[in-house]
Chains A and B, each alone.
Chain A
């Protein structure tokens, strides 16, 4: 599947079908999820109406880590096989990841204000997500500063692979530091789990975010392919000089 898509021509063909598909999925699921989370889901006993922030916060947090994992895989592929598409993918994942990490921090901060009474607390999870944000930013700066794009790709790939160390720290920070932030309620085995009323909106939002991620990254990679192609194409028509002119 991946080696099939590694051909830019085939990828463009795939993008033509997949992009509208994920776009429709994203918009549809987002509408459904927002309707569910804003109007259908009841207010929580402990959190009150503020529980609805969860439906934008948790998926953003999940996506910030998913994007980094994708960035890591793409960097690995790019480092080993030096494939252009992996570089385009890595850069696209980083851009999207940066935005969703910012979204995660912002919504978390708003939720923190209503839940714990502070906008910000320097505990393990928040600090490590903030570190993730800075790693994304530094990664993207590398692409900007290093002018030779081939070299930038190789350098950025090494940097992204080193940065992967942070992901398990984020994932387990809540258990390790026993912090203010509540631990994962859905994925932990034996955890009380969420009320089923919250399941539907949360999962549809998570799916919607995943679709947005797929849609935007396909779009970005396809754009990069087209841009590289237009750069390769001759800018002006070749001069048409005949012997008689000279």
Chain B
């Protein structure tokens, strides 16, 4: 499992295209929105949280297309199977890898966006916290779509289509939590529900991804 993770991380560090692309997309998307709104700080402040969340979701989902397909195509998945690795450990290692290489850079980029949007400190903290709490849900839901479509050659668009319906409650509770954070603090109902969704999607999606990978190997 640690060896798997190490290998995944190594591949990603040597070929940083994927997550750099996501990070660039994230910052570019948010800049474009600010430019399209002609730099109206009042409006930007109001829509910052939902827009940042959408940017996170889309930039993550765009990278998920290549999450399994490369490994399936060059036969590494087959080797994993022959080596007797369980699907669960493959999926879990991908999960941790996505968290380290996608969520962490995006979370670090949020203060930068906060400067661009002139957000107050507490707002930046709320958005970053919501991202960290909701991250397992986003990754798990994306992971299962990626695993379902890992046998497909061009699945990028469909991954987004499969994942977004399930992302709706995540986004709803994340934003409710962000709005409540300045007054009620961390243990507000929105964040609690978000944490619940994270645990639930983790519990459902990790075994489901493993099953989906197995199907695509048959």
Contacts and interface: CB of A to CB of B under 8 A. Distances in A.
Contacts of A135: 165-166
Interface string B182-218: 0000000000000000001000110010011001101
A151 B161 contact: no
B161 A138 contact: yes
A131 B151 CA distance: 26
Contact of B204 (A137, A142, A165, A166): A165
A157 to B, nearest CB: 9
Contact of B148 (A134, A158, A169): A158
Contacts of A169: 169
A134 B165 contact: yes
B152 interface: yes
Contact of B158 (A141, A148, A161, A162): A141
B35 interface: no
A151 B166 contact: no
**Residue from B144, B172, B215 whose CB has the most chain A CB atoms within 10 Å:** B215
A12 B23 CA distance: 55
B164 interface: yes
A162 B166 contact: yes
Nearest to B165: A134
Nearest to B141: A162
Contacts, number: 60
Contacts of A137: 161
Nearest to A155: B148
A148 to B, nearest CB: 8
Contact of A158 (B155, B161, B164, B212): B212
Interface string B79-113: 00000000000000000000000000000000000
17 contacts: A127-B172, A131-B168, A131-B169, A134-B165, A137-B161, A141-B158, A142-B158, A145-B155, A146-B152, A148-B151, A151-B215, A151-B216, A158-B148, A162-B204, A165-B166, A165-B200, A165-B204
Interface of A: 127, 131, 134-135, 137-138, 141-142, 145-146, 148, 151, 154-155, 158-159, 161-163, 165-166, 169
